[in-house]
């Protein structure tokens, strides 16, 4: 079964270049509204309930750029990203104060930019979740890039095409690609598309420390099948 690690999913053009050079589709590796110019992060979905429980929030960029036109000027929409990360709930609570801007070294920022290219998203993720934790900004975003670097996702998310998929098949692929992941480790979030069909907008992956865990307060509103939008 083909697989692509999450850290190599994010920029569609970059991935397609690798695909063409290698001739091989298997590469090693929400809450989603613009309101008054600010990006709101995903609403209560798969929330971590205590320290040690963590939720990595991944957005399906082509779907959100299409469903929410106010996002059109965001970098990930303009540059054709296939996936982006919107935050990491560390389980220490939310909105512990406005907090400061996250300060990252130029080298770390370059790495984080690959999966979180929008400055406002990074800032709000830090202020909503990171400030509540005992971690520094550098450590918080290192956690995000570590999880993203290890996570594998079905290759259908990277082709640039649109598919209708069965939820059971998609979740089955996820669990087969990621050792230790169960169906309860994934929360899928959808929105209604233009043809009244459910479109996948977010994948939340839940952890217990460094291992996969069980999601709590899940949304799981996609039904038995949904569309993966490739932007075409």
3 state DSSP class of 76 = helix
Rounded Cα–Cα distance for residues 127 and 122 (Å): 9
Q: Rounded to 10 degrees, what is the CA torsion of 219, 126, 52, 178?
A: 60
Structure confidence at residue 190 (pLDDT): 96
Structure confidence at residue 111 (pLDDT): 94
Angle at 214 between CA 210 and CA 215, to 5 degrees: 110
Q: How many CB atoms lie within 10 A of CB 69?
A: 10
Describe the crossing of helices 106-113 and 137-150 by its angle, rounded to 10 degrees.
40
Structure confidence at residue 40 (pLDDT): 34
What average pLDDT values come out for the chain (232 residues) when binned by 10 residues?
53 36 32 28 53 89 87 84 92 78 92 92 92 92 95 85 92 96 96 88 94 91 92 61
Show the DSSP H helices in the chain as ranges: 12-22, 61-67, 75-78, 106-113, 119-125, 137-150, 167-177
Query: Taking the model in full, what pTM does it have?
Result: 0.80
Structure confidence at residue 24 (pLDDT): 32
């Amino acid at each position: 079964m083909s697989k692509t690690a999450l850290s190599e999913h994010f920029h569609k053009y970059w991935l397609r270049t690798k695909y063409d050079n290698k001739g091989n589709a298997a590469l090693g590796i929400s809450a989603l509204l613009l309101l008054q110019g600010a990006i709101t992060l995903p609403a209560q979905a798969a929330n971590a309930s205590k320290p040690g429980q963590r939720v990595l929030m991944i957005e399906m960029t082509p779907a959100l750029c299409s469903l929410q036109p106010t996002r059109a000027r965001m970098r990930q929409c303009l540059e054709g990203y296939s996936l982006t990360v919107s935050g990491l709930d560390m389980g220490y609570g939310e909105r512990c104060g406005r907090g400061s801007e996250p300060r990252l070294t130029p080298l770390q920022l370059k790495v984080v930019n690959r999966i979180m290219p929008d400055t406002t998203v990074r800032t709000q993720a830090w202020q909503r979740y990171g400030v509540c934790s005992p971690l520094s900004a550098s450590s918080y975003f290192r956690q995000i890039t570590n999880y993203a670097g290890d996570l594998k996702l079905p290759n259908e998310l990277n082709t640039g095409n649109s598919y209708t998929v069965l939820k059971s098949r998609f979740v089955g692929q996820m669990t087969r690609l990621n050792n230790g992941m169960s169906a309860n480790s994934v929360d899928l979030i959808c929105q209604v598309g233009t043809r009244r069909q459910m479109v996948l907008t977010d994948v939340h992956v839940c952890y217990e420390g460094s291992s996969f865990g069980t999601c709590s307060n899940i949304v799981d509103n996609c039904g038995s099948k949904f569309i993966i939008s490739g932007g075409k």
